[in-house]
Structure 1
Amino acid sequence: MSDLPGKHIVLFICDQMQYMRQGRVDPLARTPNLDALADEGVFFDRFYCSNPQCSPSRMSLQTGLHPHEAGVMVIYGFGGHTGHLGPRHRTIAQVLKEHGYRTAYFGKSHFGYPLEKLGYEKGIERGGGGSLAVVDEEITRDATNFLASYDATEPLFLVISLHQPHPPFESVEPYIRSFDPEQMPIPPSFADDLTGRPEFQRKRRESPGGGVTRQQLRLEMTQYYSMITKVDELFGRVRHALEGRGLWNDSVIAFTSDHGDMMGGHGLRLKGTFPYEELFRVPLIIKAPGVAGGARTASLGVNVSLPRTLMELAGVEVPDDWPNRSVTDVVLRQAEGPEQVFMEHYGAYWGWHPFRMIVTRSYKYVYYYGPDEPAEELYDLQHDPHEERNLAADTTYEDLKHRLKAKLESWWRTTEGRTFTYYESDEFKRIDAATLVDDNELWAFT
């Protein structure tokens, strides 16, 4: 990839933003700066996170590994698990540092390990206490102050990681005034009775804080939109700072989120234990020097592919032992992407419901391998995009289900996936106890 003209790399991450709340998708959304990035880059319509929880997904963005490959399957602290990003992992920052890059990270990490030991020469972490909009202002100020004196002749890898639009949801001024609660769209699946789904989903919806009324949803949606607009504004500030230092045109820029939010889908709220698109489908926009902008792709992708993609687009020689996953050919319009992608979930605040999942261009198949085993879900994403009908028990789809399950199980085996019994053993749960920086309090509400 050395003939590509890229140099600097900027990864901009927000927290808990749905794919469908971008201006390119939703006419109510106000994201002019991200829309401008899409005009200059490639906009992904079917990009997914590896896991709908903070720490596992963020680990994937650093290592190119699926959560079970890295042994980081939950937010450390859940159920006594201590797996976290640490000394047994190799990060994109470490690779780029070896290639002469200066490396910097500003904002939320939730890695459980110091940034400097993960390859970041400069790092300021800021937790999520109080107003997230205020904290994100501080994070952006840290990043732009750093850029103000940066030597543009040195290749830079910069990560800016915001907290918004993660809960607790707030009304961000002045943007909240642009959104009328009465105009907020109720998701088509809001009244889904969850027939044919694992029983825990209905129980979660009926539990305190698990479900949501229409009135509550409309209020939270207006706040969610205002927080996303604030994210967009802060992205614009970073862009302005990059342009001021002459870095923008020579940079590979990526915008994404670690996971989504149910936001009323299937009558549910927040993140957690579900396989639905609201949680797994996330934004991805990539701009790269020498690559024509304004493209939109329906190619499949998962965030484990992003680190290698950024390195390849920047012309970096990727180590042989780095996972061979990227969407570079999609960005360069040289391929349509894979026919299927794989994701997983293990445990969250609301219980242990481990599943692994395959998504193709038309279908989604989910297999539960923990306490809910052998529950399954199968959705026709073309004809049932809101996932209201589980086809797993429909004999008409038996052959398709078996083919998808065979692919899913093959992926699990080849990537050294194990059993629920193993993952609940002390051998696994305490794997990183000796090196864990127990900083969950810093990342309150995450």
Structure 2
Amino acid sequence: MIRHRRFAAVLCLVAALGASGCFLQPGGPSGAAERTPAPERPNIVFVLTDDLSWNLVAHMPEVLRMERDGLTFRNFIVADSLCCTSRATIFTGRYPHNTGVRTNFPPDGGFQVFKEEGNEQESFAPHLEKAGYRTALLGKYMNGYHPNDTQGGTAPYVPPGWTEWYVAGNGYGEYDYNLNENGRLVRYGRRPQDYLTDVLANKGVEFIKRAAGSSQPFFVEISTFAPHGPFVPAPRHAGLSGGLKAPRPPSFNEADVRDKPSWLRSRPRLGPPAIRRIDEGYRDRVRMVQSVDEMVGRIRTTLKELGRDRDTYVVFGSDNGFHMGEHRLAGGKMTPYDSDVRVPFLVVGPGVPAGRQVGRPAQNTDLAPTFLDLAGLRPPPATDGRSLVPFLRGAAPPDWRQSVLIEHVKPPPSAEDPDRQDSAPGAPTTYNALRTDELLYVEYANGEREYYDRARDPQEMNNIVGTLPEQRRRHLSDLLYALTHCSGATCATAGRSR
């Protein structure tokens, strides 16, 4: 474990600094022309993608339309760039060190650990259902969940809080999968109409049409496996983007990594065959997200045709990012770098200012309290995140966080794990990281450190930790310690310092 100084002293430091009034200014234009009053009990449609990085959004016209019509969080940072840990945080509003879900599979994570730690009861769904919402989850749940598992019952297991449930286990290949459909196992094969993203889109639209005819508000999460590997596009999109190449930011195939930690310093530069595979993978990812983009368009069109766009929020985002060539990394996630931790999150709906961009740091800890707040509910005291609703209404809370936590436990290699490509030797070891608009500071379990001046070096290429004055390094380490040990309200206190 990463060692730090005494927690009590740090909390005093954090509280004092948090009260100093040193806050980030709101990002983006002030925003808002005409705004619709927010409904008292709105509907919520949440489209959550898997491994969708910012560099794919330019190829998604419906998502770009959401950007024009609504609010974009430009600095939405996931607390851990790994599927299961991120989803556990999304459901509960808690950092991974509080959910107990640190990897994709036991003993440190996965569905079974999520369930055994009591996170299903603490997720937002039971609270919404108890408050009168009709809830539905479609697609992916948690790594290690099997749709035919009864969990000791007589029918395939449906977690508490979900009125309707259409969930797969291993749906990464988009074909040949089972869905647990409200406790009944249904098999899908290899016909074109079995393409999983399209099946989820159809079921999502059907749910919205059924629910829209009721006075009962609804929440639906459509959680795609796209664009996670093995990057299988729908047949109608297989021939698109023939000459496209992966983006080549300055960090692509980074020339000099002598300043990087040992796990990355040992990586050779990418050769032509590896770069060719990256370009092929990126093209397939672009093709794969076309069906996701079409689903977003269908949802918004359906809501408009039903007259429910005026009382429904549509939220679009990703569980984590994905690197493809940055810093010599061929393909994957789990690092503390921008490509992996900063993800798209956009919102359209009643009262949301059109074309506004928020630069203040948001996290996946904030989604559960946001959904509950929109429903008029108070988040549980153990929630680490804060509601984003003030931003949706054109305001910027003056006491909003300045720092966010990124934490990661290196998982062991697993033949079961579709994310195992970055679990092999040479992947990042366990680390904790502190990020603001201005900096990225990382502490690894082996004692190595990184520090990047993001204002001057947004590509995070020059590790200048050796130039930090000792007092500054101690200060950052203390703040990081406070965040890695925070819970509930103390997370907000710690996050206000930098």
Verify same fold: TM over 0.5.
Answer: yes
Using the TM superposition, give the Cα deviation of residue 119 of structure 1 relative to its aligned residue in structure 2, in angstroms: 1.1
Alignment of 1:189-204 (within 5 A): 189-192=251-254, 193-203=256-266
* 8 Å Cα contact 1:210-1:269 kept in structure 2: no
Q: Aligned in 2, Cα 1:254/1:376: closer, same or farther, shift over 3 Å? A: same
Q: Which residue of 1 aligns with 2:103?
A: 74
Alignment of 1:243-254 (within 5 A): 243-254=304-315
Q: Does 1:84 align with 2:128?
A: no
Q: Which residue of 2 aligns with 1:387?
A: 460
Q: Which segments of 5 or more consecutive residues in structure 1 lack a partner in the other structure?
A: 24-28, 417-446
Q: Aligned in 2, Cα 1:80/1:240: closer, same or farther, shift over 3 Å? A: closer
Q: Does 1:356 align with 2:418?
A: no
TM-score, structure 2 normalization = 0.74
Selected match of 1:155 from 217, 239, 250? 217
* 8 Å Cα contact 1:61-1:304 kept in structure 2: yes
* 8 Å Cα contact 1:136-1:164 kept in structure 2: yes
Q: In 1, distance between residues paired with 2:471 and 2:234?
A: 50
* 8 Å Cα contact 2:278-2:331 kept in structure 1: no
Q: Which residue of 1 aligns with 2:158?
A: 116
Q: Which residue of 2 aligns with 1:44?
A: 73
Q: Does 1:169 align with 2:231?
A: yes
* 8 Å Cα contact 1:51-1:344 kept in structure 2: yes
* Deviations, residues 327-361 of structure 1 (Å, cap 9, x unaligned): 22233332264211112111233257111111111
Q: Aligned in 2, Cα 1:159/1:211: closer, same or farther, shift over 3 Å? A: farther
Q: Which segments of 5 or more consecutive residues in structure 2 lack a partner in the other structure?
A: 1-36, 146-150, 152-156, 176-193, 412-419, 489-498
Q: Which residue of 1 aligns with 2:316?
A: 255
Alignment of 1:297-336 (within 5 A): 297-323=358-384, 325-335=386-396
Corresponding residue SS for 1:265: coil
Q: In 2, distance between residues paired with 1:210 and 1:112?
A: 35
Q: Which residue of 1 aligns with 2:185?
A: none
Using the TM superposition, give the Cα deviation of residue 104 of structure 1 relative to its aligned residue in structure 2, in angstroms: 0.6
| Percent of aligned positions that are identical | 26
Using the TM superposition, give the Cα deviation of residue 288 of structure 1 relative to its aligned residue in structure 2, in angstroms: 3.3
* 8 Å Cα contact 1:358-1:364 kept in structure 2: yes
Q: Which residue of 2 aligns with 1:403?
A: 475
* 8 Å Cα contact 1:18-1:282 kept in structure 2: yes
Q: Which residue of 2 aligns with 1:17?
A: 52
* 8 Å Cα contact 2:79-2:341 kept in structure 1: yes
Q: Aligned in 2, Cα 1:407/1:62: closer, same or farther, shift over 3 Å? A: same
Using the TM superposition, give the Cα deviation of residue 401 of structure 1 relative to its aligned residue in structure 2, in angstroms: 2.9
Q: Aligned in 2, Cα 1:87/1:375: closer, same or farther, shift over 3 Å? A: closer
Q: Which has the larger radius of gyration?
A: 2
Q: Which residue of 2 aligns with 1:442?
A: none
Using the TM superposition, give the Cα deviation of residue 112 of structure 1 relative to its aligned residue in structure 2, in angstroms: 4.9
Selected match of 1:95 from 120, 124, 127? 127
Q: Which residue of 2 aligns with 1:365?
A: 441
Corresponding residue SS for 2:158: helix
When structure 1 is superposed on structure 2, of 359-368 and 271-280 the one drifting more is 271-280
Task: Return the letter of the residue paired with 1:169.
Answer: F
Corresponding residue SS for 1:299: coil
- C-alpha root-mean-square deviation of aligned residues, in Å? 2.8
* 8 Å Cα contact 2:244-2:283 kept in structure 1: no
- Figure out how many residues of one structure are paired with residues of the other and give that number: 402
Q: Aligned in 2, Cα 1:70/1:271: closer, same or farther, shift over 3 Å? A: same
Q: Aligned in 2, Cα 1:272/1:406: closer, same or farther, shift over 3 Å? A: same
* 8 Å Cα contact 2:50-2:318 kept in structure 1: yes
Selected match of 1:7 from 42, 45, 49? 42
Task: Return the letter of the residue paired with 1:92.
Answer: F
Using the TM superposition, give the Cα deviation of residue 16 of structure 1 relative to its aligned residue in structure 2, in angstroms: 0.2
Q: In 1, distance between residues paired with 2:441 and 2:249?
A: 22
Q: In 2, distance between residues paired with 1:80 and 1:315?
A: 31
Q: Which residue of 2 aligns with 1:422?
A: none
Task: Return the letter of the residue paired with 1:187.
Answer: P
Using the TM superposition, give the Cα deviation of residue 269 of structure 1 relative to its aligned residue in structure 2, in angstroms: 2.8
Corresponding residue SS for 1:275: coil
* 8 Å Cα contact 1:85-1:112 kept in structure 2: no
